[in-house]
Amino acid sequence: MTDIASRPGDSSRASRPHKQEQDPATDEITEVAPGVIRMQLPIWMPGLGHVNMYGLLDDRGLAVVDPGLPGPQSWKALKGRLKSAGFGVKDVHTVIVTHSHPDHFGGAGRIKREAGAQLIAHKAFTTWSLDRGRHTLSEVEAERLEQQAIDEAASYTGPSLEELPALEGDDHAALEEITTEHQRQSIPWGGTTPWGGSKHPMPPLRRRLTIRAMRLLFSPPDPTRRVKHGAPVRLAGREWLSIHTPGHTLDHLCLYDPEHGVLLSGDHVLPSITPHISGSNQGDSLRSYLATLDLVGALDGVRLGLPAHGHPFDDVPGRVDAIKEHHYERMEKLRDASLAVGPASVVNLSHELFPKKHWGVMAESETFAHLEHLRRAGEAERWEERGVMIYRVAAASDRSDA
């Protein structure tokens, strides 16, 4: 999920024009790469007008990537787009979900059920738990996964087609632990935040009714195959490489076609909006994001980005640089704000970074992600007062001694 101009995650200014990711979905079907078609599905989320569902064609039918939101309206649009392209739901043999946000995984479980399709996601993929008693990811495990992604990014030197072993036994049990705390906290009916305070919980009766409705309308997207970084996936008659790109979410997955230089970038790299980086009390999501931005920008021969929102773009390294620059600018603005107001809570610092109309949990979450990145780099300090985290970011003169 991403946001509109000047919202948390966006590198633009309030006065800048409409962004292409906001464009409403059209029924146009276009071939954007050899054997790859783009189909736009409508979504009803702040700042977004569509999600791109890509179809990867082969002699068995097609695979689809990110099949939209859950619910009957999105499902009707999905079937209509497939029909316009000459296919039906039962022609879909594989569903790929780039990450655990509902505008990407919504239709995946239903396609899997109705077409008998394989469902592929990263090994850390989880969705909101609708049941009590589920485990959450420990801080140690979350940091291990993020550090693993950074190490992979640093050591990656080119395509690796070594097949990974199937998950069995204890591996599947371990995956139950990947119902991550930061994803649990993203549930829209509330909870507490790591930095202190409430996410305005939904009233109990409304929450129960919402859960009941979701159970009736929504087929859980349980993957049949979970992939790791570098694992090959055969799509459109050729090998694509799984690229683990945490930051926007811990489980974010890109796919790269080295033969044609095509990157299915999900929400990791978007053409005109900077993806939201969600802060949690596990690991350093901004560090993971910056490291894996560098990874996809340096892929040998990358020529075309196919994003989840907005139009295909042909300068992936250039867009990577622009997004990184945005985050460096945000950290500088945070330093200036901290110097101006002194020790402050995440909420108060988020009010210094974002206009009042965008105050709220998403602004706080991204502020928290940047503060934690600075703290772990030795450029900020944190303590707790009455259950609320307080931060002070070091001035430039202080940082030289850190």
CB 369 within 8 A of CB 279: yes
The residues of the chain scoring below 70 in pLDDT are 1-17, 127-191, 197-218, 280-282, 396-402
Enumerate the domain spans of the chain: 20-326, 329-399
Amino acid at 189: W
C-alpha span between 386 and 73 (Å, rounded): 46
Which alpha helices (DSSP H) does 58-107 contain, by range?
72-84, 102-105
Q: In residues, how long is the chain?
A: 402
Amino acid at 315: D
Q: Looking at residue 222, what is its pLDDT?
A: 87
C-alpha span between 166 and 265 (Å, rounded): 25
CATH of domain 329-399: 1.10.10.10
What letters, b where the CB count within 10 A reaches 16 and e where it falls short, cover 191-201?
bebbbbbebee
Q: pLDDT by residue (tens digit) across 174-218?
A: 323 333 333 333 334 445 788 986 655 555 555 555 555 555 556
C-alpha span between 370 and 328 (Å, rounded): 10
Collapsing DSSP to helix, strand or coil, 108 comes out as helix
C-alpha span between 339 and 383 (Å, rounded): 17
- Compute CA 10 distance to the chain's CA centroid, rounded to the nearest angstrom: 14
Measured CA to CA in angstroms, residue 392 lies from 138, 270, 287, 327, 377 at distances of 27, 32, 19, 18, 13
C-alpha span between 57 and 291 (Å, rounded): 32
Amino acid at 51: V
Tokens, residue 48: 């977004």
Enter the pTM of the model. Answer: 0.80
Q: Looking at residue 80, what is its pLDDT?
A: 98
Which candidate, 360, 29, 356, places its Cα nearest to that of 199?
Answer: 360
Residue-wise DSSP of 351-395: HHHS-GGG-SHHHHHHHHHHHHHHHHTTSEEEEEETTEEEEEEPP
Helix, strand, coil share (%) of the chain residues, nearest 5: 35, 20, 45
Residue-wise DSSP of 283-349: S-HHHHHHHHHHHHHT-TT--EEEESSS--BS-HHHHHHHHHHHHHHHHHHHHHHHHHH-SEEHHHH
Measured CA to CA in angstroms, residue 165 lies from 124, 141, 160, 242, 244 at distances of 16, 21, 14, 14, 17
| CATH class label, 20-326 | alpha beta
- Compute CA 72 distance to the chain's CA centroid, rounded to the nearest angstrom: 24
Sheet strand arrangement including 304-307: 232-235, 238-244, 253-257, 262-266, 304-307
